[in-house]
Amino acid sequence: MIECKNLVKIYKNGDVETMALKGVSFHIEEGEFVAIIGPSGSGKSTLMHILGALDSPTSGEYFLDGQEVSKLNDDELSEIRKNKIGFVFQAFNLLPRATVLRNVMLPLLYTGTSQQEREEQAIKCLRYAGMEESKFHNRSNQLSGGQMQRVAIARALINNPSIILADEPTGNLDTKTSHVVMQAFQELHRKGHTIILITHEQEIAEFARRIISVRDGVIEKDAINEKYHA
Ligand SMILES: Nc1ncnc2c1ncn2[C@@H]1O[C@H](COP(=O)(O)OP(=O)(O)O)[C@@H](O)[C@H]1O
Ligand SMILES: [Mg+2]
């Protein structure tokens, strides 16, 4: 489902070149739950931007569902993002004054789906993500951090994506809430979703089935997580 071959990313700022990825290759099958872990500056966000079709590699190949994403132009990349990828971010990225329901419906706004259909889809995704029904009409700024992240997960599911990409999704949460959110990802994994989660914390990575460690732009280790506890 995902195949990366020798991904290289070089950032150029004036005369300064930074090689953020130095030839990264891996395979992710449908239904896998993978954590990508590494210290700050190791290239995690760079990799996530490429996987999420937010940026292109300098060289190397990235295939998603058989399509070579690394060769696409900006418009084509935006189509991939819209149709194939569900994003969950550290900062939740919800509209604070909009209701829970509206936040989840939002990605469907320009897809020609009727208001009623959008609402039904959003309700389905919120239930699926385990959000309390009583909060559906609350504004998102009235929620706890854990609830906000559940809403963000529901929103990520609304376009029925091929992969869910989560960049430090527990970065703004306390330990206990982090674990609850990670259990929500495990639940999605059990239901067959493909999840790639970026983190710098070993404890968070251990919620995933497979852990890829990156350091200085290369993969240091790629192994099944023996401590996987579902
Ligand atoms: N837009 C950019 N321009 C120049 N250098 C960058 C840019 N983004 C990231 N880098 C550099 O690339 C390396 C990897 O960064 P990043 O992918 O953000 O790592 P991580 O997410 O693991 O902290 C770092 O040395 C960082 O300074
Ligand atoms: Mg980062």
Residue 49 CA, closest ligand 1 atom number = 17
Residue 198 CA, closest ligand 1 atom number = 21
Pocket lining: 9 vs ligand 1, CB cutoff 6 Å: no
Q: Report the pLDDT value the prediction gives residue 111, as an integer from 0 to 100.
A: 82
Residue 9 burial (C-beta neighbours within 10 Å; 0-12, 13-18, 19+): buried
> Under a CB-based contact definition with an 8 Å cutoff, are residues 22 and 220 in contact?
no
CATH architecture of 33-57+82-224: 3-Layer(aba) Sandwich (3.40)
DSSP code at position 74? H
By alpha-carbon position, which residue is closest to atom 5 of ligand 1?
Answer: 11
Query: Residues 37-59: pLDDT tens digits?
Result: 999 999 999 999 999 999 999 99
Pocket lining: 40 vs ligand 1, CB cutoff 6 Å: yes
pLDDT at 23 over 90: yes
Query: Residues 106-153: pLDDT tens digits?
Result: 989 888 889 999 999 999 999 999 999 999 999 999 999 999 999 999
Q: Which of 45, 56, 216 to mutate to test the pocket of ligand 1 (most atoms within 8 A of CB)?
A: 45
Query: Residues 115-127: pLDDT tens digits?
Result: 999 999 999 999 9
> Under a CB-based contact definition with an 8 Å cutoff, are residues 63 and 144 in contact?
no
Q: How far apart are CA 171 and CA 45, in angstroms?
A: 14
Look at the block and give the residue holding tokens 């295939």: 63
Summary mean pLDDT of the chain: 94
* Confidence label for 104 from pLDDT (cuts 50, 70 and 90): very high
Q: How far apart are CA 103 and CA 97, in angstroms?
A: 9
Look at the block and give the residue holding tokens 């239901």: 191
29 CB-side CA count, 13 A = 5
- How many Cβ atoms from other residues are within 10 Å of residue 67's Cβ? 13
Q: Which of 10, 11, 199 to mutate to test the pocket of ligand 1 (most atoms within 8 A of CB)?
A: 11
**Which is nearest to 69 in space by CA: 158, 5, 165, 159?**
5
DSSP code at position 225? -
Q: How far is the CA of 91 from the centre of ligand 2 (A)?
A: 13
**Mean pLDDT (whole number) for 68-83:** 93
In this prediction the pTM is 0.92
pLDDT at 202 over 90: yes
What are residue 165's DSSP bridge partners? 87, 196
Q: Which residue has the higher pLDDT, 119 or 230?
A: 119
**Mean pLDDT (whole number) for 179-188:** 92
Q: How far is the CA of 135 from the centre of ligand 1 (A)?
A: 38
**Mean pLDDT (whole number) for 12-29:** 96
Long-range contacts of 145-150 (CB under 8 A, 24+ apart): 145/92, 145/172, 145/173, 145/174, 145/177, 146/173, 146/177, 146/180, 146/181, 148/92, 148/94, 149/88, 149/92, 149/173, 149/177, 149/181, 149/184, 150/126, 150/181, 150/184
Pocket lining: 42 vs ligand 1, CB cutoff 6 Å: yes
By alpha-carbon position, which residue is closest to atom 13 of ligand 1?
Answer: 20
Pocket lining: 14 vs ligand 1, CB cutoff 6 Å: no
Q: Report the pLDDT value the prediction gives residue 166, as an integer from 0 to 100.
A: 95
What is the DSSP code string of 41-60? TSSHHHHHHHHTTSS--SEE
Q: How far apart are CA 208 and CA 185, in angstroms?
A: 9
Q: How far is the CA of 47 from the centre of ligand 1 (A)?
A: 10
Q: Domain spans of the chain?
A: 33-57+82-224
